[in-house]
A = this chain, B = another copy of it.
Amino acid sequence: MKFNCLIAQSGGPTAAINSTLAGIYSAACRNASIGKVYGGLNGIEGVINGRVINLGSILSEYGNLFVLKITPSSFLGSCRYKLKSCAENEDDYKKIFDIFDKYNIKYFFYIGGNDSMDTILKLKEYQDKNPHGVMLIGVPKTIDNDLMCVDHTPGFGSAAKYIATTVKEIAYDTAVYNMDSIVVVEIMGRNAGWLTLSAGLARDNSGRTLADLIYIPENPFDYDKLISDIKNVQKEKRQMVIAVSEGIRFSDGKLVAESEQKDAFGHGQLGGAAKTVSEYIKEQLGVKVRAVEINVSQRCAAHCLSLTDINESFKIGEVAVDAAAQGLSGVMVTNNRKEGNEYRLEYSYSDIASIANMEKTVPENYMNVEKNNISQDGLNYLIPLVKGEVKLLHKDGVPMYLNIKDFI
């Protein structure tokens, strides 16, 4: 007898999360023990509310799987819904497992980041006490690259490529006037500076850095050091680009820029670091300063995908199906870089308990000793992840993506 599988997507969208969805779908279709492939709309919240669709009827249509692979944002929709612990309230769990029963689901794939792995962990804990025989598999995605037990997260490479490209172009833009000027670029990253680090990939043909200064949350931010760093750069050039994480904070832990709003997971809403820093620079140095927030495009710019990322994101979806078919549950699929000079990945699985709710930050050796730019180790880590370009389909000059609204 065949059992069905259910896939849902959660957390902030990425440009590669649909490639993983496509990978799971493809491998599930090929797997003899899997029947239908369902999609849950708007993550676990939609599953709770019974919003389940038959993915096969959409993706079996010619060309749709290919376009899905390069479509940004979460095709099935997302949520930021935090499950209460089952000790606290079992209602959601009952609803979810009722849906699993109703659709004869034996394999549940949840594509997401830290918070989504927390959901898988809680479902696992509930099922340990209330056996249902559902294989609960976490599949990583996040532009933030902050998940434990992986070399890097699917989605990060495309975000890093977009950031490096955009920072390079901004550096060219700001260099045109014969005057002192500074652009402060704000990049996402609450506690982990991975995305901001990737601004360090913006280099000239001769290898010259174009992100002249880089500040990440891992290192305490200090205004005096900033001004001294700027003056050092100014000895060499009149126009510069400074990349800062939205989450940069002072040595006392206080954020350089934070509003008081909190999201469902209790995280403060960030934003404004570039503006705050640029106003300080203007006040201290009197030069022309512009603040640029790269904003949501860093997580949805499918027009600037990393081919490596898209291929790996697809592959990790396929590996997730293998894990489920092997009877694994409560695990997240992981990737690891093989030893040696050539960049190669191997895939494995990790217990979800060792991943959920933890954050992997940038190691010290990926930054230079002055803690104001990327090091060669950092470059060596990042470069393979952003390699390769993806050719999109266009209609009237604008990329074509798949939209679920055309099907439901």
Interface set of A (CB-CB < 8 Å, partner B): 13, 41-42, 45-46, 71-74, 77-80, 161, 164-166, 168-170, 172-178, 183, 201-206, 208, 290, 292-293, 295-297, 299-304, 306, 308, 383, 385-389, 392, 394-403, 405-406
Contact = CB atoms under 8 A, between A and B. Distances in A.
A202 B394 CA distance: 12
Contact of A161 (B205, B398, B405): B398
A183 B401 CA distance: 19
B399 A383 contact: no
A79 B177 contact: yes
A404 to B, nearest CB: 9
Nearest to A292: B295
A300 B204 CA distance: 16
A166 B397 contact: no
B169 A297 contact: yes
Contacts of A175: 73, 77
A26 to B, nearest CB: 22
A246 B358 CA distance: 41
A383 B401 contact: no
A177 B385 CA distance: 28
14 contacts: A13-B172, A71-B172, A72-B173, A80-B177, A161-B397, A161-B398, A166-B301, A169-B300, A169-B303, A204-B403, A290-B296, A292-B297, A303-B304, A304-B304
Contacts of A385: 397
A310 to B, nearest CB: 13
A165 B201 contact: no
B303 A205 contact: no
A177 B80 CA distance: 8
Contacts of A392: 389
A172 B73 contact: yes
A397 B405 contact: no
Contacts of A203: 396, 398
A73 B165 contact: no
B386 A396 contact: yes
A75 B46 CA distance: 52
A178 to B, nearest CB: 4
A156 B32 CA distance: 53
Given A73-B172, A166-B297, A395-B205, A78 B290 contact: no
B398 A168 contact: yes
Contacts of A293: 292-293, 295
Given A304-B303, A406-B206, A176 B396 contact: no
Contact of A165 (B79, B80, B166, B399): B399
